[in-house]
A and B are shown apart, each in its own frame.
Chain A
Amino acid sequence: MKNQTKIKLKKAFNISFKGKPSRSIQSVEPSPMVGVIPDQFKFMKAKVIVNLNDQVKRGQALFYDKKNPQVYIHSPVSGTIASIQYGHQRRLECIEIQSSDKDDPLEFQSVDVTALSVSDVKSVLLERGLWPSFVEMPFHNMPNPNTTPPAIIVMLSNPEPFHPQLSVAIKDVEDHLIAGIQVLKKLTPNVVVIVDANEALNCDALSELTQVVRVDGDFSQFEPASILYHLKQSVDENKSWGCDWQSVVKIGATITLQRYYNQQWVSVGGNQTKDNQHYKVIEGVNVAAIVKKKNKRDRMIFGGLFTGLHTTTETYLPLGTDAINIIDSDPQPEFMSFVQPGANKPSFTTAYLSGFFNSFKKTQPSTALNGSSRDCISCGLCTDVCPVSLLPQQILRNVTGDDIESGMRHGLLDCSSCGVCTYVCPSKIDLASMFTLAKDTLYHEVTA
């Protein structure tokens, strides 16, 4: 209990939804074909180094990031390259691998983590395809291997509803998790582990190793950028790194087992069937092996309800995706819905009858826009819910007026892109995407 502290944050967006995954875990048999989709890696420009019909081993490099040429993405299985698909402007969309009957992993050298220097740790992580585990704030890019983080924020809890809970899988992964934290401690002494104060997780062993912070707050506050905002003491910490528990487990397991660890947990939520639970799968698994859509018009989201990917292909699980949400995507026209009491209209506010009791627990989440686009009417709801205390209306004006400098002064770069402001906006302005776009533009400018 050495290093455990607790912080309490304002719960402005405290809602819970229907369709929560149950705590049971099902192991999914590896599908014969897996797909490597790099969509979750921001700013990555993939350069493929394998050819069609090449034989690859589990843990063998498939492509690297042209922006960080030392960073490779490795194959999760042994097999044959079945296809390499490119999209617009030759952006890598997917590499399909036909897995062979016999798993033939690449054997890595055994290392004694305690004896390694910072640069040794970096080369170990790079060599084994573990570098993409990190995101660097404030742009959520993959960090440059030549930089050293001022702090690493490890999230053991979820930034969104319906994400896999560590407490479900902890029995299998505790040793790997601790080994992973030990590796991170070699990169920087400031490794901060964040746990939801309401999650039943014993962190005594972790707190012997590093600082553990139990956070009492709503789910949008569990983005690394949001936690960083609340914990940081100085300007130096702005470029801290973030990492989730699955990545730490992967780092720990790959180094201890000396072969590429391809296991991961994924939760299925929203879907109104018994499929809502946790699944243990391999990376890049065929989605059909996990879950099927009940209704063709439903939307399958890779990631959370607020920040998940907008994809058209639903074949393979993109790398780094830990949740699949299936929600209704066929809104029906309602007659004069804006004058009705609205007992079943999901709303965070009390503008409908439903707002007086948490209606989300009763209604299936849906992709309905619930209104038409209008100009900002300065209602201030976004300011109320922002987990990093931004003034989104103010920054919206800065961003639309191309005044990024003022936007930054008002904290644009503290934005965690959690999407909560977009959710609450009655004028249906997609604030979070506009801020993300502004940040991305800025990132391209500063790294050009």
Chain B
Amino acid sequence: MRWLYNQLISNEHLFEKGGRFERLYPLYEAVLTIHFSTTETTKKGAHIRDGLDTKRFMILVVMALVPVTLFGIYNTGLQSLLSAGKETGMLGCLIQGGIIFLPILLTSYVVGGCWEVLFAIIRKHEINEGFLVTGLLFPLTLPPTIPLWQVALGISFGIVVGKEVFGGTGKNFLNPALTARAFVYFSYPAYLSGDVWTRFVSNASVDTYTSATPLGIAANTPISGHAIDNIQSAGFSLWDCFIGLIPGSIGETSVLFCVLGAAILIGTGIGSWRTMVGCVMGAVAMAGLFNLVATDATIAFLNVTPVWHLCIGSFAFGTVFMATDPVSAPDLNASKWIYGFFIGLLTVIIRVINPAYPEGVMLAILLMNVFAPLIDYYVAEHKVKKRIPNVV
């Protein structure tokens, strides 16, 4: 490894100011710092610094996503093989899932990465490792049937409009992965409407197989029907929804693995438990309220209990991995409670009241991203009022 390091360092002058490849410095910096920790020392300020840096910060999110991703690959393969009526061994499912998922992931990383590098070079800032998270989060929110050109278009929109035009990671006010998904969702609704979810094994006359997700079923239950009964009679028990062996977006189906990811994020101090608990509280409160007002003459979805709301759709995935994005979430701890609570609340409202958008969590988080600075403003003003002024 010393050899590689020496090679990199001996070529550093080419990328520094005045060097032949001066413009490509961000690329050099990225390659060097991904392989080797920096040997820089403190020049001013505190003489010692903590071991945590943004690379570790972001890679921990990726690590927390690994269980969800692996399960997502397995489940995608499983659903695909099931619908084709083939045998569903563990290895077979993983291979089949891999064949479907890896091209999507690769497209997302390659296309997104190109934008990231391009902006870094033009704007002369370092390539930010936050992209490692965005590039993985986005494919996990997509259905297995998504055409690759839509993945490329989506991630481009997410990275460029969701992040880079505002100045890159740290300056964006929307979650880039969700911005990308929202773009695809509204541009090509036929592909993400909540109904088309299983990619068929090839050699068949039709390429995809349509099956409704629990959310879709609940949303389409007629008035005076029983949404939960309908979901269960379609073959989705509460347990299935919790474990996640059901059709759905690649990474969203398993609440169990999202909880595992949440444990990693909270244990390492990377994800805010306040936001997550806030989300759950908001969803439970709103679903409970809906349950109270529900009668036979109201929308059937109103009757869906809080537990079901937490287990279906991508509520768990959004809560754990999307709402906790530190950049687009509010800064202050008190604000995170409010922010989380409203995400939960809005998710349930959008799901229940608006049957055109069975998946509310994406819109709820994006909406609250926009309000995050406002929440911070009022919480900070409240704190200022408690201080004894110190001005000149």
Query: Interface of A with B (CB < 8 Å)?
Result: 138, 232-235, 238, 299, 301, 305-308, 310, 325, 327, 329, 331-339, 342, 345-352, 354-355, 365-381, 383-384, 389, 391, 393-394, 408-411, 413-414, 419-420, 422-428, 430, 432-433, 442, 446
Contact = CB atoms under 8 A, between A and B. Distances in A.
A350 to B, nearest CB: 5
A405 to B, nearest CB: 8
A384 B331 CA distance: 11
Contacts of A383: 331-333
B170 interface: yes
Chain A at the B interface: SS class: loop
Contact of B46 (A232, A306, A374, A379): A306
Given A235-B389, A375-B168, A383-B331, A369 B49 contact: yes
Interface residues of B, number: 60
Contact of A334 (B37, B130, B171): B37
Interface in B287-330: 326-327, 329
Contacts of B57: 351, 377, 379, 426
B24 to A, nearest CB: 17
A339 B50 contact: no
A424 B36 contact: no
B13 interface: no
B171 A375 contact: yes
A310 B331 CA distance: 32
Would you list the 3 A-B pairs with minimal beta carbon distance, nearest first?
Answer: A371-B53, A375-B170, A419-B46
Interface in B69-109: none
B390 A408 contact: yes
B267 interface: yes
A383 B272 CA distance: 14
Nearest to B9: A333
A341 to B, nearest CB: 11
Interface of B: 1, 5, 29, 33-57, 59-60, 125-126, 128, 130, 167-171, 267-270, 272, 326-327, 329, 331-333, 376, 380, 383-384, 387-392
Contacts of A414: 387, 390
Given A305-B46, A335-B1, A419-B46, A370 B51 contact: yes
Given A338-B37, A372-B54, 17 more contacts: A235-B388, A310-B47, A325-B47, A331-B41, A336-B34, A349-B269, A352-B51, A365-B48, A374-B53, A375-B169, A378-B331, A393-B331, A424-B50, A426-B52, A426-B54, A430-B45, A442-B392
21 contacts: A305-B48, A310-B43, A334-B36, A342-B56, A345-B51, A350-B267, A351-B270, A369-B42, A372-B126, A374-B126, A374-B128, A375-B167, A375-B169, A378-B170, A379-B57, A380-B333, A411-B387, A413-B390, A413-B391, A426-B52, A432-B45
B58 to A, nearest CB: 9
Contact of B47 (A327, A374, A381): A327
Contacts of B167: 375
A347 B332 contact: no
A307 B46 CA distance: 6
Nearest to B46: A419
Contacts of A425: 49-50
A334 B55 CA distance: 14
B41 A372 contact: no
A383 B332 CA distance: 8
Contacts of B54: 371-372, 374, 377, 426-427
Contacts of A355: 269
A426 B53 contact: yes
Nearest to B392: A446
A430 B390 contact: no
Contacts of B390: 138, 235, 238, 408, 411, 413-414
A337 B59 CA distance: 11
B59 A370 contact: no
Given A308-B47, A369-B41, A442-B392, A377 B326 contact: yes
